[in-house]
Amino acid sequence: MRRHTLAVIVENRPGVLTRVTTLFRRRGYNIESLAVGETENPSISRITIVVMGDEKIMEQVTKQLYKLVDVIKIVDITDKRSVERELVMIKVKADVNVRAEIVQIVDIFRARIVDIGKTSLIIEVTGDSGKIDAIVESLKPFGIIELVRTGIVAMVRGEIK
């Protein structure tokens, strides 16, 4: 069992996301992360799904997805050279005493502070899951009030000359 990242290219039509998620639910496959959006071609959307599975499960996932009429193409990019990113916003407790410390952490992770409240900050960070887990761990001691993640998006790298 390991994490697989699938890029599922689908028709940009109402209900397509439901078809995909219904299939995962019905067949008992577990979605770890899902992100969807239009592509460079407005008639096509791209769903990035992260799913746990062994080879057998992944074969079934792919074959079952291909049976959906609205699914045009599926690429398992897990073992391809690819860039994976996720955006996370974290609202963290921050009174004056600890602000400096938090700003330091934000700098180290090349994150950004996007809102400053009286007793809290909102931090935006983009990265792969390793980086995101790490910053979340570092901020935990201050007290995380709220956290939201976009889900992972991924892209295969271009050829090197």
Token pair, residue 137, equals: 């761990």
Residue 12 interacting with other proteins (CB under 8 A): no
* Complex with other proteins: residue 57 or 98, whichever CB lies closer: 57
Nearer to other proteins (CB atom), residue 27 or residue 81 = 27
19 binds other proteins (CB under 8 A): yes
Residue 69 lies near other proteins (rule: CB under 8 A): yes
The piece of 20-28, 31-39, 102-110, 145-153 that touches other proteins (CB under 8 A) is: 20-28
Q: By CB under 8 A, is residue 10 in contact with other proteins? A: yes
| CA distance linking residue 148 with residue 88, whole number of Å | 6
Binding mask 35-64 for other proteins (x = CB under 8 A): ---------------------x--xx--xx
Is the CB of 55 or the CB of 115 nearer to other proteins?
55
Does the protein bind other proteins through residue 154 (CB under 8 A)? no
DSSP the chain: -EEEEEEEEEE--TTHHHHHHHHHHHHTPPEEEEEEEE-SSTTEEEEEEEEEE-HHHHHHHHHHHHHSTTEEEEEE-TTS-EEEEEEEEEEEE--HHHHHHHHHHHHHTT-EEEEE-SSEEEEEEEE-HHHHHHHHHHHGGG-EEEEEE---EEEEPPPP-
Binding site for other proteins (CB under 8 A): 10-11, 14-15, 18-19, 22-23, 26, 56, 59-60, 63-64, 66-72
